Every structure is written in C-alpha cells, then in structure tokens.
Amino acid sequence: MVAGLFLAAPSAPPPPPTARPEPGHLSHTWIGWDGSRWDLTGDRVPSGVLLGQGIRGLGAGPGQHLTSTSPALAGARWRGAQETPREPFWPLSVYQGDRGQAWLDYDAAFWRTMDRRRPGTWVATQPNGTSRYLRMRFTDDGDHPVALPGDVWGRQAYGISFLAEQPFWEGEPVVVAPLGNPLQRNFFGGGDQSLPGYGPPFFIGSGASLSRARISNPGDQPAWPVWVVVGPVTSAVVGLDGRAVQVPLQVLPGRALVIDSAPDAQWALEGDVVLDETGAPQLDETGRVVVRNLGTPGHEGDRTRELGSRVEWAPVPARAENVPLQTSIVGTGAVQPSLVPLHDRAW
C-alpha cells in the first residue's frame, strides 16, 4: 500500500462585516493628508477599513515626572510633569468585496494616505455627535509579513504605528461672536446706523461688547486663544488674566490680523476677510470669521515684529468657565477670540 500526501487548501478568512455597528458605539474616521475620509468602524460595506482589538491612543497620553535627587534626602523631589508624544497603534484590516485588482487598488488608495511627512487626522465621534481629533503621522507597519496576499482573499490585516507630536485630543472649537464697541457705528465700516435692514452694514450690539467678553475652556489642558482683529481698526489690545498683547497696528477694511498665542506660534499674520453675499464678513461652520491668503511666519504678511512693547501671552486655564477677556479696539471693526480645547482622552 502506497501512502499518499494530500495538501488541503487554506480556508478563507472570515468575511467582512455585513451590517453597521449598533447605535451608541464610538465611531472612528481617518482623514488622510489628501482630504480623503475612511470609516474605521465597519460602516462601509462590502468594502472598507476596519479597526480591530488592541487599539492604542484613545486613553490618557504618555508623560513623565521631572524629579531631582539629593544625598541629604531620601527618594526624590518632584519638580513637575511633562507630556511626551503619543504613539497610537491600529490593528486594522482592509477588505474588499472583489478580489484581485479591485482589492489591490482599494488597499493602495488607503495606503497613499500614510505619509511620514504629511499628517492625517484620527476622528473619534461619540454617540451624541461630539467629535475629538488627533493629528498624527504614519510611523511604520511593523515590517508587515504577508502570509496570504490580500488579492487572493480580498482582505489583509495590518498593525500600523503612528506619532502624534501634540499628544492631546482636540475638541470642538470654542468661538466667541465678533466683538465690537457698543457705541461704534458698524462692524465693517460705512453706512448709516439709522437705516433699517439686516445688512450690510452689520451693526454690533451691546450684547457683543468688548467689556462683556468671556470665554470658556472645557478641556483638560490650558488652551491658547487665537484672536482675529477685523479692520477697520487703528489699534487693539488682546489678552486675559492681567496679561495682554498690544497691537499698535492699522488693519484696513477687508483685512484681518490673526494673532495666535500658542507657544509654538505666537505670531500676528495678516490676510483677507472673506465677505458673504451681504458684504459682511463670512463665518465658517464653527462661527469663526473666514480669513484667506494669510501671511506666513517670517515672510510677507507677518506683522509679529510690529506688535507693541507689551507682549504677554496667556492661556485660558483648564476646565475654566466664563473667563473675562481684556480686549479693546480703536476703530469700527471687531475682534473675535476662539480656542481649541485639549483633552487627555478621546472621550
């Protein structure tokens, strides 16, 4: 009797999900550097990208304690703490209803969004619609071993590592309505205040006066405000908590000065105000004045060196509500403060 050797064909991996996740789940989206959006929680059927178990990066970010030691003291003395870059990890599958070239094209399109030089954004959306955002760069795929080519089965599992230099999850922007002096004539100059109508011109009422300006920070970390000074303005002061930035600059009608107080920015850049069909400054979906053709640091449009002798940058404290702003302008324009809350976790 002659013994025979039989090789069984490998079994196909399990099919991709055929139903959307149950309501109430935290959903995840990847926005590539190219603007493409990829659902990561199984909402795209029969083709998609699906996160698996073992995700890292949703919880409290990494950090380290700063200590000093002395021969005269036992242990160490705590000097503070420092947040370190976050290193998210995705166990992830790319699947396609069709095999062969269709899968190869789909997988290649996803991997084009992975670029160490150009970061993308991980979006975590809660059931109530609130989203938080983590900007991060692709690091590596762990030298991905291919047991069975994805084009054979229409599916391939990866382990992807990232780097988030800024380790906090960003929340929805907190935006204050454009602020002006209660007695000034209008927001954008010109026009008769006694005339009826809704604009233009757009008149600032006392409810949006500089003296009543407040801002809140729901985040877990201090947040640095951004100020948009909309012309016509001949000078301004922006700040909070007894610390202010003098702006002895003329901002012409149709122009705006964007002052970013973040430690990695601390600049004043000028750009063009976008107007809506009524001639009033256009607001984006968050309520911020839209500014285009913004200058770049160290080049044309950078007016940082023209700021006054008093330049004291200040953040809005963590979990602070209704923090008074110390803001004033000279002119018939307006100033708009906003901030982006920083959270330790994705929810």
Beta pairing partners, 343: 169
What domains are there in the chain, each with its CATH number?
27-67+78-168 (2.40.30.200), 174-343 (no CATH)
Query: Beta strand 120-125 with 334-339: parallel, antiparallel or unpaired?
Result: unpaired
Q: Provide the pLDDT for residue 44.
A: 60
Output the six-digit token pair for 32.
Answer: 């590539």
Distances from the Cα of 94 to the Cαs of 87, 91, 344, in angstroms? 21, 10, 29
Q: Provide the pLDDT for residue 4.
A: 42
Q: Provide the pLDDT for residue 210.
A: 84
Phi, psi of 105 (to 5 degrees): -65, -40
Distances from the Cα of 240 to the Cαs of 153, 245, 281, in angstroms? 59, 9, 25
Q: If you write DSSP's letter for every residue of 119-140 in order, what string do you get?
A: -EEEEEE-TTS-EEEEEEEEEE
Nearest to 177 by CA among 156, 219, 206, 200: 206
Output the six-digit token pair for 309.
Answer: 């002798």
User: How many Å apart are CA 271 and CA 279, to the nearest integer?
Assistant: 17
Q: Provide the pLDDT for residue 43.
A: 60
Question: What is the dihedral angle through the alpha carbons of 76, 78, 80, 82, rounded to the nearest 10 degrees?
Answer: 40
Whole-model pTM above 0.95?
no
Output the six-digit token pair for 46.
Answer: 């029969």
Q: Is 90 strand, coil or helix?
A: strand
Tokens 């200040």 map to which residue?
314
Distances from the Cα of 296 to the Cαs of 137, 175, 269, 275, 304, in angstroms? 23, 23, 7, 22, 11
Q: Provide the pLDDT for residue 346.
A: 97
Q: Provide the pLDDT for residue 171.
A: 97
Nearest to 332 by CA among 196, 201, 214: 201
Per-residue pLDDT of the chain (347 residues; tens, 9 = 90+): 434 433 344 445 445 544 444 556 899 999 999 999 999 997 666 679 999 999 999 999 888 898 999 888 899 999 988 889 999 999 999 998 888 999 999 999 999 999 999 999 999 999 999 999 999 999 999 999 887 888 888 889 999 999 999 999 999 999 999 998 654 444 444 444 444 433 343 333 333 568 789 999 999 999 999 999 999 999 999 999 889 999 999 999 999 999 999 999 999 999 999 999 988 899 999 999 999 999 999 999 999 999 999 999 999 999 999 999 999 999 999 999 999 999 999 99
User: How many Å apart are CA 289 and CA 208, to the nearest integer?
Assistant: 15
Residues 6+ apart with CB under 8 A from 130: 171, 172
291 within 8 A of 271, measured Cβ to Cβ: yes
Q: Centre a 10 Å sphere on the Cβ of residue 286 and count the other Cβ atoms it contains.
A: 11
